């Protein structure tokens, strides 16, 4: 039996230790997040892999569904919502790591139409929105549960437009579903986040809903108490770093800290 000489034994030992260290550092993470964050988190995932060697698993849905999944015990390490109220609910239920919550991002709300029908819409003009909808539907996320839909209804009510369009509203499970309906030409008008419209070349922004017409759009993030809290803290730190911030801004998000 051939025995390794001391230098080779040392080299093999060093390689094994390096492999073990890399394996120990690799941190797989499950993130439950608002559907509007899908594209941007896909771009941030390689940053996490480069930093830790771990994989990022994204579970995307409307913020209400995200919260309910965690309440039901779905595996999760980090949660990012498009509405503080759902994070409040998780916090009240004791499902988040105390002190881990942070306001991460901001967004705007826009009215969209298929790109072929990109004429600007004057929301202040009497009947203009209803005329634009015509015999079609106004695509919104669920107005009683999903933040984008809640904000949209707040804005339309504030502007005195809701009653005139309510019979023509099509409510979808999440904001990306509303975006898809307009992008496919199945709805002539929709209300989505500015970042969603920016990510879909088949739609055009025809109006922006005034920020004062709805609650501030803030995305809070937190570590889930039942998950890998150490990895979650590291990921939340990554999300607040300069590299992730540049990606968020490139997608049209504002940084809640003003950076």
Q: pLDDT tens digits, the chain, 259 residues: what are they? A: 555 555 545 544 444 444 334 444 568 999 999 989 999 999 999 999 999 999 999 999 989 999 999 999 999 999 999 989 999 999 999 999 999 999 999 999 999 999 999 999 999 999 999 999 999 999 999 999 889 999 999 999 999 999 999 999 999 999 999 999 999 999 999 999 999 999 999 999 999 999 999 999 999 999 999 999 999 999 999 999 999 999 999 999 999 976 5
User: What pLDDT score was predicted for residue 3?
Assistant: 56
Residue 9's pLDDT is what? 52
Rounded Cα–Cα distance for residues 61 and 189 (Å):
22
How high is the pLDDT of residue 19? Answer: 39
The helices-and-strands tally (H runs, E runs) of the chain is 11, 11
Query: Token pair for residue 3?
Result: 């025995």
The count of other CB atoms within 10 Å of the CB of residue 90 is 23
Structure tokens at 96: 């988040």
Q: How far apart are CA 189 and CA 114, in angstroms?
A: 8
Q: How far apart are CA 9 and CA 155, in angstroms?
A: 70
Length of the chain measured in residues:
259
Q: Would you state the pLDDT for residue 7? A: 54
Q: Are strands 109-114 and 78-80 parallel, antiparallel or unpaired?
A: unpaired
Q: Hey, what domains does the chain have and what are their CATH numbers?
A: 26-106+217-255 (3.40.190.10), 109-213 (3.40.190.10)
Predicted pLDDT at 27: 86
Confidence at residue 244, expressed as pLDDT on a 0 to 100 scale: 97
204 touches 112 (CB < 8 A): yes
DSSP letter assigned to residue 31: E
pLDDT of residue 48: 97
The whole-number pLDDT of residue 69 equals 96
Q: Are residues 138 and 74 in contact, defined by beta-carbon separation less than 8 angstroms?
A: no
R_g (Cα) of the chain, nearest Å? 22
Cβ-contact 90, 222 below 8 angstroms: yes
CB-based contacts of 215, cutoff 8 Å, min separation 6: 150, 151, 154
């Amino acid at each position: 039996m051939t025995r390794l000489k001391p230098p080779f034994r040392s080299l093999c030992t060093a390689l094994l230790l390096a492999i073990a260290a890399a394996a120990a550092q690799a941190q797989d993470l499950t993130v439950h997040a608002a559907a509007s964050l899908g594209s941007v988190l896909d771009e941030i995932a390689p940053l996490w892999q480069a930093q830790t060697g771990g994989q990022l698993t994204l579970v995307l849905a409307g913020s209400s569904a995200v919260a309910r999944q965690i309440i039901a015990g779905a595996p999760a390490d980090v949660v990012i919502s498009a509405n503080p109220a759902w994070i409040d609910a998780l916090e009240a239920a004791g499902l988040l790591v105390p002190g881990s919550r942070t306001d991460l991002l901001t967004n705007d709300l826009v009215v969209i139409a298929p790109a072929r029908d990109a004429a600007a819409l004057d929301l202040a003009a009497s009947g203009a929105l209803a005329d634009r909808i015509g015999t079609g539907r106004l695509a919104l996320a669920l107005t009683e549960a999903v933040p984008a839909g809640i904000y949209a209804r707040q804005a339309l009510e504030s502007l005195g437009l809701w009653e005139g369009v309510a019979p023509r509203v099509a409510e979808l499970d999440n904001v990306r579903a509303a975006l898809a309906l307009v992008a496919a030409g199945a709805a002539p008008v929709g209300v989505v986040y500015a970042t969603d419209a920016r990510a879909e070349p088949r739609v055009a922004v025809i109006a922006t809903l005034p920020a004062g017409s709805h609650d501030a759009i803030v995305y809070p993030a937190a570590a889930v108490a039942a998950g890998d809290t150490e990895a979650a803290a590291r990921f939340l730190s990554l999300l607040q770093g300069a590299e992730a911030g540049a990606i968020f801004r490139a997608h049209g998000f504002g940084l809640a800290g003003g950076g």
